[in-house]
Amino acid sequence: MDRDQQRIDSIRRQQSELENHVMDEFFAGRMSRREFVRRSTVLGMGLTSIGAFLAACGTGTTTPPATGLKKGGKLIVAVIAPAGKIDPLSVADEGGLAVLGQAGEYLVWSDKDLKLRPVLATKWSSNSDGSVWTFTIRSGVKFNDGTALTAKDVAATMNTHADPGNKSNALSALSGVLSKGGAVAKDDTTVEFHLDAPNGSFPYLISSDNYNVIILPAGYDYSKKYEDSFLGTGPWKKTSFTTGKGVSFAKNASYWDSGAPNLDSLDMTFYAEDQPRILSLTSGTSDVISQFPIGAGQPLLNNPNVIAIGLRSTAHRQIHMRTDKGAFTDKRVRQAMALVVNRSDLVTGLLKGKGDIGNDSPFAPVFPFTDTSVAQRALDVAKAKQLMSDAGKSSGFSTTLYTWNSYEIPDLAALVKSAAQQIGVNVALQVLDPDTYYSKYWLDSELGITDYGHRGVPNVFLTAPLTSKGTWNAAHFANSAYDDLVKQYVSASDVPAQKKLAGQIETLLLDQTPIIFPYFYYHMSATKNTVSGVEPTAMGHINMKAAGIKS
């Protein structure tokens, strides 16, 4: 037995049955290296073990840290102005979460490749059916007010967010998964999560993807103004905050990860509009911009002094068609509508190529478990006309498409209108302000376009807008076979089973087509070319822990 095999066997002996199963899949070639790393981290296998295992298999895993950086200095990040107060319970926007994640930290970090990385939790594992998850909390961590972090703080934070009475924005992911009291501190470094139902992706639901759940002390009073303290265990400590203007941070000298952050200080300047934020980078006023829309940010893509970072994401627009009444009750009509949408043109024209084509299911190409063997729906006007004829709608009909005015959405609506004309569907457009759309038309319109932000796992996309009891089910889609498949998918932690179920769900949704998923757009951010080590995520986080100025 060679030394590599001995090392592999040694690592295997320390892992659970599920983790060994993942290794088997990797060995058998049924799982890519990327999928292996991602799946292993979900199951709680430590990065050291993953690295050692891959090294023994002849493939490295460690990502080289940013090198060639000056020690110290200050960077200015231009972020979207937070929509309201920076409050761990209520933050629901990209500007707010980008700020929240500086002084605050999560148990687990969901990175740009949708892999999990330990932060305040060093490892995690589940029982055999994924209904109880155990997290080990890092020792020696202090909040920036000097108090020590314990498992009680973690349990209290999670129970606070899981309590419907607190109206936490995190509930959209935790509802039906974790109830108040489900997080229990077993000792100072161990937290057990007793879930409402088995969930194979639970670590994602309490990771940075669920951006409200920064860990705060057990006795923290959430009615207090968080902006006064910016309490947290993160690498940064607030020095000043002005509503609407920005926040300044200094290095947290007692940060648990010695050597980090690299910079001495960090300023986050708030910009209410895209153009000034973009211009701040080109004029040298800021060093980093956390996000820019592809349309407004065209000049950045060709600027030699700027590094544009495009991250594949699962963020998308959904074109829902109401299935329970009106013109779209016949699935053939819905299929016809989907067939006349030219997805390639949309990605090229609206997104300048910075997006992935959708296949009318939430399984974005970037998800490792998307079954890519399911045929891609392509433009086919002749087939669409035939379907309309079969449905008795060959002469077409009139309908109204409701949506709201932001980014490329009005252009998408106009292109859908134009495409629908090819099969005789006369679409009137109602492009509204967001408040009117979401309060009056979103869940009651026959045809509408809604935007969905990035998620590390598709669970929310699969449940809320598509299951029979989904709270955001604008299509009013009710299909018991689908509900059952999603239930199985959510609880599955076995890789082949998840992929198989994904394929079945994709096929079912292509047949039923309650929603057209035209594309998944990239998350764009940018830095000066003199800056390195900035880590954005498609969720909207901007991790500045390893950032610095090139030497």
Partner 1 sequence: MARFLARRIGLALVTLWLLSIIVFVGANVLPGDVGRRILGPFADPRAVAVFNHQLGTDRPILVQYWSWLTHALRGDLGNSIAFGDPGVSMLTRALGNSLKLGLVAFLLVVPLGVLGGIVAALNRDRFLDRLITIAGISATAVPEFVFAILAILIIGVALRLLPITATAPDGSSVPVQFGYLILPAIPLVLVLFGYIARITRAGMIEALDADYTRTAVLKGLSYGTVIRRHVLRNALLPTIAVVATQTGYLIGGLVVIEFMFNYQGIGQLLFLAAQKKDFPLLQAGVMVIGAVYLIATLVADITYSLLNPRIRYGGAD
Binding flag, residue 298, partner 1 (CB under 8 A): no
Q: How far is the CB of 303 from partner 1 (least distance, A)?
A: 11
Tokens of 385: 């006309």
By CB under 8 A, tell whether 285 contacts partner 1: yes
Identify which range of 17-25, 128-136, 152-160, 283-291 contacts partner 1 by CB under 8 A: 283-291
Q: At how many degrees (to 10) do helices 33-42 and 17-27 cross?
A: 180
Our finding on whether 225 is near partner 1 (CB under 8 A) is yes
CB nearer partner 1, residue 14 or residue 239: 239
How many Å is the maximal CA-CA distance in the chain? 73
Is residue 302 a contact residue for partner 1 (CB under 8 A)?
no
CA distance 542 to 102: 8
Nearest residue to 220 via CA among 212, 211, 229:
229
Of 266-274, 288-296, 366-374, 502-510, which part binds partner 1 (CB under 8 A)?
A: 266-274
Segment interacting with partner 1 (CB under 8 A) among 27-35, 143-151, 433-441, 492-500: 433-441
Q: Please say whether the beta carbons of 146 and 254 come within 8 A.
A: yes
Contact with partner 1 (CB under 8 A): which of 60, 181, 197, 272?
Answer: 272
CB of 92 to partner 1, least distance (A): 4
| Residue 402 is a binding residue for partner 1 (CB under 8 A) | no
State in angstroms the smallest separation of the CB of 237 from partner 1: 16
**Where does residue 543 rank: exposed (0-12), middle (13-18), buried (19+ CB within 10 A)?**
buried
Smallest gap from Cβ 503 to partner 1, in A, equals 28
| CA dist., res. 200 & res. 132, Å (int) | 10
- Among residues 68, 219, 244, 304, the one that binds partner 1 under rule CB under 8 A: 244
Per CB under 8 A, contacts with partner 1 among 148-167 are: 164, 167
- The yes or no reply on residue 275 touching partner 1 (CB under 8 A) is yes
Cβ atoms of 384 and 423 closer than 8 Å: yes
Nearest approach, Cβ of residue 359 and partner 1 (Å): 24
State which residue, 30 or 440, has the beta carbon closest to partner 1.
440
Amino acid at 504: Q
Through-space distance between the first and last CA atoms of the chain, rounded to whole angstroms: 47
- Least Cα distance to 106 among 170, 51, 198 occurs for 170
State in angstroms the smallest separation of the CB of 314 from partner 1: 16
Q: Which of positions 455-484 make contact with partner 1 (CB under 8 A)?
A: 464, 471-472
In whole angstroms, give the CA distance from residue 162 to residue 172.
10
**Total chain residues near partner 1 (CB under 8 A):** 45
φ, ψ of residue 149 to 5 degrees: the values are -80, 135
Q: How far is the CB of 276 from partner 1 (least distance, A)?
A: 5
Q: Which of 24, 433, 484, 511 binds partner 1 (CB under 8 A)?
A: 433
Nearer of residues 60 and 164 to partner 1, judged by Cβ: 164
User: Does the protein bind partner 1 through residue 529 (CB under 8 A)?
Assistant: no
> Which residues in 56-95 contact partner 1 (CB under 8 A)?
83-85, 87, 90, 92-93
The structure tokens listed for 81 are 């102005």
Cis omega before residue 368 (within 30°)? no
* Residue 66, SS3 per DSSP: coil
Cα separation of 92 and 89, whole Å? 9
Q: Does the footprint of partner 1 cover residue 264 (CB under 8 A)?
A: no
Looking at the Cβ atoms of 113 and 227, the one nearer to partner 1 is: 227
What minimum distance in Å lies between the beta carbon of 508 and partner 1? 24
> Rounded to an integer, what distance in angstroms lies between the CA atom of residue 419 and that of residue 380?
11
List all residues 6 or more positions away from 490 whose beta carbon is below 8 Å from its beta carbon.
197, 198, 199, 200, 201, 459, 462, 463
Burial (CB count within 10 angstroms: exposed 0-12, middle 13-18, buried 19+), residue 68: exposed
Q: From CA 466, how far away is CA 361, in angstroms rounded? A: 10
Chain residues in the site for partner 1 (CB under 8 A): 83-85, 87, 90, 92-93, 164, 167, 169, 171-172, 225, 240, 242-245, 248, 269-273, 275-277, 279-280, 282-285, 433-440, 442, 464, 471-472
